[in-house]
Structure 1
Amino acid sequence: MALRYELDPPVDRRLVDGIRALWVEVTNAGGAVGFVPPVTADDVRPELVKHLVAMSEGRARLLVARDEEGEPVGTAFLSFNTHRLMRHWVWLYTVMLHPARQGRGEGRALMAAVEDAVRGMDGIRGIRLTCRGGVGLERFYGSCGYKEVGRVPDAIKVADDDFRDDITMWLQLR
């Protein structure tokens, strides 16, 4: 069954607990979402709180993908630019899909839902994201229409002897 997407869902305990559990699952499966494994719910909690505060202050929005039981199995957070010359594009970050749901086209469907949601936002002309090199994310985002527009070599330190590129991707909407 297809996932159900919801922009700006009501924030309740089920959503918060679901996203926190999802973040742990994705990270511990090797996902590049701000941490390196292993992590616990306590590790991701402070970052999730930052995301939720930004939402409550109107600085960010959430697109959540829900499964058949209504549990969060995917996320995409959108952050508005505050610089007066860059308010025409948004940042996309903390894009996650539960590992058990990967490899079935649901990641591309999530990215298409993001694009649809952003196209509905007044005055927004592009989506910008960054991703960690070395895990193939730039190929995935490229297959969703994003173009690599920048790369900072070795900008991300995932271990004492493991540095990854910070890759900037862009999707032009208009």
Structure 2
Amino acid sequence: MTLTFTVDPPQTPRLRDEIIDLWTDVSNAGGAVGFVPPVTAEDVRPDYLKHLVALESRRMHLVVGRDEGGQVAATAFLGRNTHRLQRHWIWAYTVMVRPGLQGQGCGRELMAAVERAGRSFDGIEAIRLTCRGGTGVDRFYASCGYKEVGRVPGMIRVAPGDDRDDITMLLPL
């Protein structure tokens, strides 16, 4: 399936609801996007609202991929650094693909759209992201050109006795 991507689409109630639904579905499918299942849309909503505040202040950007029916199928948030010594790179946060579309190339399309967006911002030289160890997603990001540049063992506590590495990856542009 081929997705159509936009950067910083207008924020509408429909877009909000579709992103919250996607975030909930990805989380409940075991995706490492800040939650441990089970979660509801009401659990996710406060985190989305924090991103929305950053979007409105232009400290963050949103990449949205839509399927042929116009439904949100993939997203990533790109956070700008406010520190004067780190404004030359951006963070990729909450990278998500609808669970039913995973394994069909949509994640690779999303990461290509994230890279294009990063290249379109003045002065941006790299994209940085973190991912949860033990999920295999670090291999996916590596296949998209990201290099592991740091790892903190046991930094993410998924459950008592289940600590995962926090892996930092970088894509120079």
For residue 148 of structure 1, what is the aligned residue in structure 2?
A: 148
For residue 70 of structure 1, what is the aligned residue in structure 2?
A: 70
Query: Mapping of 1:13-92 within 5 angstroms?
Result: 13-92=13-92
After superposition, give the CA deviation of every residue in 1:29-81 in whole Å (9 maximum; x if it has no partner).
Answer: 01000000000000000000000110001110000011112111110100000
SS class of match (2:62): strand
Query: Which residue type is aligned with residue 116 of structure 2?
Result: D
Q: Measure how far apart 1:136 and its partner are.
A: 0.3
SS class of match (1:156): strand
Aligned pairs, number: 173
The CA RMSD over aligned residues, in Å, is 0.6
For residue 134 of structure 1, what is the aligned residue in structure 2?
A: 134
Query: Which residue type is aligned with residue 16 of structure 1?
Result: R
Q: TM-score, normalised by structure 2?
A: 0.99
**Residue ranges of structure 2 left out of the alignment (5+ in a row):** none
SS class of match (2:50): helix
Structure 2 Cα separation of the partners of residues 59 and 8 of structure 1:
12
Large movers: runs of 4+ above 6 Å: none
SS class of match (1:169): strand
**Residue ranges of structure 1 left out of the alignment (5+ in a row):** none
SS class of match (2:27): helix
Q: TM-score, normalised by structure 1?
A: 0.98
For residue 4 of structure 2, what is the aligned residue in structure 1?
A: 4
Query: Which residue type is aligned with residue 138 of structure 2?
Result: E
Structure 1 Cα separation of the partners of residues 52 and 67 of structure 2:
21
Structure 2 Cα separation of the partners of residues 58 and 112 of structure 1:
22
For residue 117 of structure 2, what is the aligned residue in structure 1?
A: 117
Q: Measure how far apart 1:2 and its partner are.
A: 1.4
